[in-house]
Structure 1
Amino acid sequence: MPFSARLQPRPDDDDHLSLVTFNKIATLIGQEVGIRLPPAKRLMIEGRLRKRVRALGLDGFEAYGKHLFREDGLASELPYLINAVTTNKTDFFREPEHFELMEKLLVPTLITERKSERNPLIKVWSAASSTGAEAYTIAMVMADLAAQRRDFRFAVLGTDISTDVLDQGRAAIYPAEQIAPVPQAMQSRHLMFSRRPGIRPEVRIAPELRRLVQFRRLNLMDGSYPFDRDVDIIFLRNVLIYFDKADQSSVISRLIGHLRPGGYLLLGHSESMIGTSITMRQVAPAVFQKV
């Protein structure tokens, strides 16, 4: 093959998402899931949608726009669009101070307040769980604390709007390099390492821990959430930054309604200023208690 031929662009490299179509998509995503997509995100969204355009066998982005916004196209295509545009940055033991606080202060305080109950069930909710790293980090910490104390049980709920990341969370399989932040002792207790040669090293969360974590789809923009209203701890970290102030307030208000009195809401450290308007008692940076 001549060198010049190898430099020829692929047929779809000259196809781009028009500003009109991008603005329609941005408005739709803002209405449906509360995420703001400023014009600076257009190239990013274009890159994420290109694979979807090919999968549908469409001629390009304009054809995709017509497919998406036709009367019968939106309902079927919206889940795929949401999966494509949502950001799913996550790590095990991200912002580790929160997990240390949960172990040393929050859970012991909750158990003390429920001393009349024998072996109380502590419910923890990861409200933007992505691929499950946060939910399983919570479960590891809680499992070790429960084994040490032997005076409480726990359950973890992970929710997200993306069906793709929820499937990954349920599978509980991760690249080996992703679990580097997990302490070695916890890795030994809670992870299974693949021994198959010739593939990218992977690990899986042990079945004993997987059984204590459930994953459900949830759009935080929904007017109500179909979950328990006696949750002890809710993690909502590094997602509110994508919402406008009104949506931030609405989401926080709905989540507070699911906390039991004395329960805790944890925001991301980058969102600590959002918490200044919360009618809860602040107990640590980005950590609030319902009183």
Structure 2
Amino acid sequence: MTKTVPQVTFHDGNTIDQLGLGVWRVPNEQVESVVASALKAGYRHIDTAAIYGNEEGVGRAVAASGLQRSDIFITTKVWNSEQGYEKTLAAFEDSLQKLGTDYVDLYLIHWLQPLRKQYVDTWKALIELQKSGRARSIGVANFTVEALEELYEATGVRPVLNQVETHPYFPQHELREYERERGILHQSWSPLGQGGELLQDPVLLDIAKKHQASVAQVTIAWHLALGNIVIPKSVTESRIAENLASVELKLDEEDLMRIAGLDRGEAGRISADPATADFA
């Protein structure tokens, strides 16, 4: 039976499934079968990006699924080297062509790139794409509070969502509170951490045992309980289904308090800091 994934609503009125499939580092020749497995299992939210090099495979899987395009939520992102107003518009056209669709449900600026100072012009391009209807909703990834404020001050338009590294070792309390107060949804990438350390954490293992669940399921359920949108990646059919089943796992207050105690602050970060990251 297909699991019912909760939906959340953007401030622009559109909705998104709170749990989706991420396809970072899934090769283009493999991603079609991975997305096909996810759609078959019941996923309707797929997160890709131009830099992943797999938009074509995602598009093929969607086209072959037998599902209506309107039933599948597709996110893609403009890469750092393509920031700037005109380059972003061109990059968007390229992504549409590769995906084989005439619109995307969500288009994101992939990284802030603060030293290049192109993110406001890039954001203005996204606003135009939304006005055209070809990007139904627009948001950002890896943005700081200061940059989110700058976008709003420059355009009067806030992103619907900010996709950033978030997991129990790095839960992003301050950023999430800022976003909550301004109607920006929080999306977690690397929701299970990286390298497997989180999946061996004694606290999470104990909670998993209590619920007869996997640590991955407990961690995804934690994200959902916080209101985060979460996009765990897997290429294994059984784990894709296991992750989806997380929507049925309800953690209690004791579980949430114990997981809150895993916060390592800035020491928990495993990726580049958006406030200083600068790469092509």
TM-score (norm 2): 0.29
**The structure with more radius of gyration:** 1
TM-score (norm 1): 0.28
Higher-RCO chain (CA-CA 8 Å, sequence separation at least 6): 2
